[in-house]
Amino acid sequence: MDLASVVAPESLLEPQGRFLSDLMGRGVVGRADAVVLPSSVDEVAAVMRWCYENDVALTARGGGTGLAGGAIPVDGGVVIGFERLNRVRQFDPLLWRMHVEAGVTTGDIQRLARENGLRFPPDPGAAETSQIGGNIACNAGGPHAFKYGVTGQWVTGIEAVVPPGEIVTFGGPLRKDVAAYDLKSLLVGSEGTLGLVTAAWLRLVPAPELELPVVGLYRDAEAGISAIERVLGSGVLPAAIEYLDDVTLRVSGETYPFGLPAGAAFMVITEADGAAVEARRVAGELREALSEDAVAVHAPEGADEVGSLWRWRGGVAFAILAQRGGAFSEDIAVPLDRLRDVALATERIGARHDVPALSFGHAGDGNIHTTFLFSPDEPDEEKRADDACHELFDLAFELGGTVTGEHGIGWLKRGQLIRQLGETGYDLHTRLKRVFDPKGLLNPGKKL
Ligand SMILES: Cc1cc2nc3c(=O)[nH]c(=O)nc-3n(C[C@H](O)[C@H](O)[C@H](O)COP(=O)(O)OP(=O)(O)OC[C@H]3O[C@@H](n4cnc5c(N)ncnc54)[C@H](O)[C@@H]3O)c2cc1C
């Protein structure tokens, strides 16, 4: 029995370019024997059953915005994409919850929530393309994860297809449920290696009445990191604490909506949110904490100004990429007391490998996008940028951190998990993998 006999003809595609790579770059293009875009959960189950009966690898693909090569079919077989499984099954704004299929984009979820006075807080940067299934598979974060947490914290239930092709549900439209082992959370962040997420119940919150960013600009990283430490110690809870270093400001500062003052070489973005009175109080405290040693403090107020700040922040990754045409942007995370070490080590690592280096990211979570730039026309420079990334991973371990705070292990960081967990912890992971996927057909070569 061939694959065509278990799926609808319109669900089956010839393997095409866009299904063979993601945004990790590094010239890695996979190969696939077929691409399936199912339009129902039953079809997902049929595909997995067929793969299990025929010993064929099965790689899940969401929006393909991953930066770790997780969706690349490195072992051939079938790619299963979720873009046609994109219905909102149920939305109960008065109960602050939504039931969506895996292929709904992050941006559509955020918009639907916002149009109804609610908020889905996870805000990973490629929201218009990434899908909720991919966000769950990577446990994606974003700037506002500082106050609101990462994707998994907003998922109360998951429907998934697990080998050899069974549809299972863990959790649901429940706000509390401690009956079982927490298999829902096990699937969150499993990067398509344990099962295929087909739908999720999401928790929402009322949208804040006011969002008030407060931006501090400093003459150097030392002064900026001290400001971050003062914010953390100030006793208020900002929604976000982001930073951008001097090189990042140089490449993206021209379009900063409020104009970069002379001498500004480090930026800290914080935000107060909530009911108007509370947001104003917190913004005042943030301004006080950020003002010491600042070259300038900007506190935009109107919705347009606030929107333009975050749009600019969202565009920083693209301004960076435009510099030399290529950029490897990693996502190590370290304990907060080691943030300074990462910010200062970036330049050192770049210099050692002779590539331009910069860093920015989610400072409040110790989750830093250290980035090495290269020209794709210069293969040797690309190789040196990649080597710099591997030195960065070593640094993450030295500082008691992790090689990934949000992008996942994927293909890029294969081999790193055993270094992070040690043999016993890693062995437990491989045994769990075998329980779910005894034939090892789900996203082979990734995570473990
Ligand atoms: C400009 C830019 C900014 C970014 N900013 C952030 C950020 O702030 N925070 C952040 O966390 N990430 C960020 N990312 C990375 C990326 O967008 C996220 O990791 C996102 O969650 C990936 O979702 P996706 O749908 O594109 O997944 P894909 O790239 O398609 O897949 C990612 C992984 O999930 C698996 N997968 C996908 N769908 C499913 C499914 N339905 N079931 C099981 N497994 C599945 C894949 O096999 C793969 O292992 C950014 C990327 C870009 C390009």
The Cα 135–Cα 122 span in angstroms is 9
| Pocket lining: 109 vs ligand 1, CB cutoff 6 Å | no
pLDDT, one tens digit per residue, over 87-98 is 999 999 999 999
Note whether 36 and 79 are within 8 A (CB).
yes
| Pocket lining: 126 vs ligand 1, CB cutoff 6 Å | yes
| Pocket lining: 135 vs ligand 1, CB cutoff 6 Å | yes
Whose CA is closest to atom 18 on ligand 1? Answer: 66
- Model pLDDT, residue 254: 94
| Pocket lining: 444 vs ligand 1, CB cutoff 6 Å | no
| Pocket lining: 188 vs ligand 1, CB cutoff 6 Å | no
Residue 261: CB atoms within 10 Å: 11
| Pocket lining: 23 vs ligand 1, CB cutoff 6 Å | yes
Fill in the amino acid letter for 255: T
| Pocket lining: 137 vs ligand 1, CB cutoff 6 Å | yes
How does residue 374 score in pLDDT terms, banded at 50, 70 and 90?
very high
- Model pLDDT, residue 344: 87
In the predicted model, is pLDDT for residue 1 greater than 80?
Answer: no
Two structure tokens written together for 275: 């009911």
Whose CA is closest to atom 13 on ligand 1? Answer: 124
Compute, in angstroms, the gap from residue 258 CA to the centroid of ligand 1. 31
Q: Which atom of ligand 1 is nearest to the CA of 198?
A: 41
- Looking at every residue in the chain, the average pLDDT score rounds to 96
Q: How far is CA 43 from the centre of its chain?
A: 28
- Model pLDDT, residue 306: 96
Best substitution site from 104, 132, 407, 442 to test ligand 1's pocket, by max atoms within 8 Å of Cβ?
Answer: 407
Mean pLDDT value of segment 324-340:
95
- Model pLDDT, residue 230: 97
pLDDT, one tens digit per residue, over 400-422 is 999 999 999 999 999 999 999 99
Closest CA to 42 of 69, 70, 8, 12: 8
Helix, strand or coil, per DSSP, at residue 230? helix
pLDDT, one tens digit per residue, over 163-213 is 999 999 999 999 999 999 999 999 999 999 999 999 999 999 999 999 999
Compute, in angstroms, the gap from residue 78 CA to the centroid of ligand 1. 19
Mean pLDDT value of segment 369-398:
95
| Pocket lining: 38 vs ligand 1, CB cutoff 6 Å | no
The Cα 3–Cα 69 span in angstroms is 25
Compute, in angstroms, the gap from residue 192 CA to the centroid of ligand 1. 11
- Model pLDDT, residue 17: 87
- Model pLDDT, residue 413: 95
The Cα 388–Cα 365 span in angstroms is 23
For the chain, what percent of residues have pLDDT higher than 90?
97
In the predicted model, is pLDDT for residue 216 greater than 90?
Answer: yes
How does residue 257 score in pLDDT terms, banded at 50, 70 and 90?
very high
